[in-house]
Amino acid sequence: MSDVSSELGAAGRRRTVHEIASSLNRKAATERLSLSAHLSIGRLLCKLRDAIVAGDKLDGPDAMKVLCAGISFYRRHTLGDVQEEDEDSSETIALLKRSSTLIFVLLAAVESRASGQADLESARAVVDAAGETTLAKVLDLPTRKRKAPREEGEAPQAEGDGPTWEQVATQVTPSELMRNVLKMSGRALALPGATGSLEALSDTFFRASAACMASRILLKEGATDFVALSAQKSDIPREKRLLAMAQAGESEAGQSCLRDILLSFLLPAKIIGVRRNLLLSRAASTAAGIDYAEAVNTAHSVAMAGTEWIWKHGTSELERACALLAGVAVLITRGGEDPMRKQDAFMGRLSVPWLETTAPADGVRRLALLPEKQRWILYKMSPKSGKPVLICSLRGFEGLCDCLLKFL
C-alpha cells in the first residue's frame, strides 16, 4: 500500500513531471532495492511516460534527475549490486538492467519527439567511430604547425586550421556519442525485435553520460595544466621514485597486468569493452587474438621483457606509461585469493574508458583520464561538500608520471 500511495500526490492528485522525476531520483539513491521497490520504479516510469505524452515537458533539471537515475541503475547492474547479496539478488540485478533500459527508452522517445526524424546513417557512423577509437595516441601532446610563408595576395590561414595531432581513429566526445546514440534509438523504437540492440545502446549511452558529467565537473576551471600548492613533495629523486614504481610490477601478476593494460590502450573500444578488474575478459582476449594479432604479439613481447626493463630501456612512451601503471596496479590492488582477476582494478581509484569499478571512499586520491582532452586529472572527493578537490591536471607522458607520483 505504501508503494501505491507514494505514486500519488496530496489528496490523490495527478503528480507533475517534476515530482515524478524527483521521486525516481530518490529511489535510485536507495542503497537497497527490494522487488516491491522495483515495481514502484516501473510505475513511476509509466506515469512519467503518460505525463509526457499528455503534453508535460521534461525540462533540463528534471531530465538530469532521470538521467542520473539511469546511470545509477546501469552502474549497479554492471558492478553486480553487491549490496543485494541474498536469495533474490539475481532477480533484482536483472531488474536493475531492465530499469536502466526503460529509462533510456524513455529519454530516446523524448529526444525523438523533440528533434523529429534523425539522420540514421550519420548517427550510426558516429557510434561506429566511437567503437573503433583507440587510446594509442592519448599521451601525444598537440604540436604547433609551422606556418608556411604566404604568397603575395594569399589569404592568411586561420588559427587552428588542420589537425593538431595525429590520431589512430577519430575521437568521439562523450556528449557527441550521447546525442547520436539517442538518435539511433529513437528510430529503433519503431522497429520490431529491437530489445537486444536497445539494451546494448543503453549501456553505451549511460557510460558516455557519466563520462560527460565527470568531464564537466573535473574541468570546471578549464582544460589547463594545474598543480595545487598543497601537493606533497618528496626528498627522494623523481627518477628513483618512478623506477621503484615500475619495479613493483616485476612479477608474473605484473606481467599479466602490463600486457592487458597495454592492449587496453592499443585495441579499439568495441574489442576491449568495459570490465571491472585488471585483466581482459576471455571474450576480449579471443577477439583480440583473431583480429589484432600484431597488437597482441606486441603486448606479449612487452610483458615478457618486464616492467623494469621497459621502463629503463623502452622507447615507446605508451609502453613505459603502461609499465608504471602495471606497477601501481600491483601495489594497490589488494584483497582475496586472486586480486588481479577478482578485485576492482586499482581498488576503484583509476578512471579510464575501459574500467567500471566501485568508487573508493571520500578523501582517497583518484586519477581520471579524459581521452577527448588527453588529460590526466588527480583529485579527491571532499567528505564535507561531496565535491572534487583537484590536486593536479596535466597532459602527456610526463604529466602522467607527475600525477602517479602524487597519486601514491
pLDDT tens string 275-322: 999 999 999 999 999 999 999 999 999 999 999 999 999 999 999 999
8 Å CB contact between 330 and 254: yes
8 Å CB contact between 296 and 280: no
Last residue of a domain, one of 76, 99, 116: 116
Phi, psi of 172, deg, nearest 5: -105, 125
Lowest mean pLDDT among 18-22, 78-82, 167-171: 167-171
Asked whether residue 366 is assigned to any structural domain, the reply reads yes
Asked whether residue 361 is assigned to any structural domain, the reply reads yes
Mean pLDDT of 61-81: 88
Asked whether residue 78 is assigned to any structural domain, the reply reads yes
Asked whether residue 212 is assigned to any structural domain, the reply reads no
Mean pLDDT of 365-393: 92
The 10s digit of each residue's pLDDT in 310-341 is 999 999 999 999 999 999 999 999 888 889 98
pLDDT bracket for residue 198 (50, 70, 90)? confident
8 Å CB contact between 360 and 349: yes
Residue 160 pLDDT greater than 80, yes or no: no
pLDDT bracket for residue 250 (50, 70, 90)? very high
Asked whether residue 197 is assigned to any structural domain, the reply reads no
The sign of the CA dihedral 117, 122, 124, 126 is negative
Residue 370 is which amino acid?
L
Q: Report the C-alpha gap between 138 and 164 in whole angstroms.
A: 13
Residue 264 pLDDT greater than 90, yes or no: yes
- 395 forms beta bridges with 375
DSSP H helices, 219-316, are 238-247, 252-266, 269-272, 282-291, 293-305, 307-313
Last residue of a domain, one of 116, 137, 155: 116
Asked whether residue 201 is assigned to any structural domain, the reply reads no
Asked whether residue 178 is assigned to any structural domain, the reply reads no
Domain that holds residue 33: 2-116
Last residue of a domain, one of 83, 116, 149: 116
Asked whether residue 40 is assigned to any structural domain, the reply reads yes
Count of domains for the chain:
2
8 Å CB contact between 202 and 74: yes
Mean pLDDT of 166-182: 74
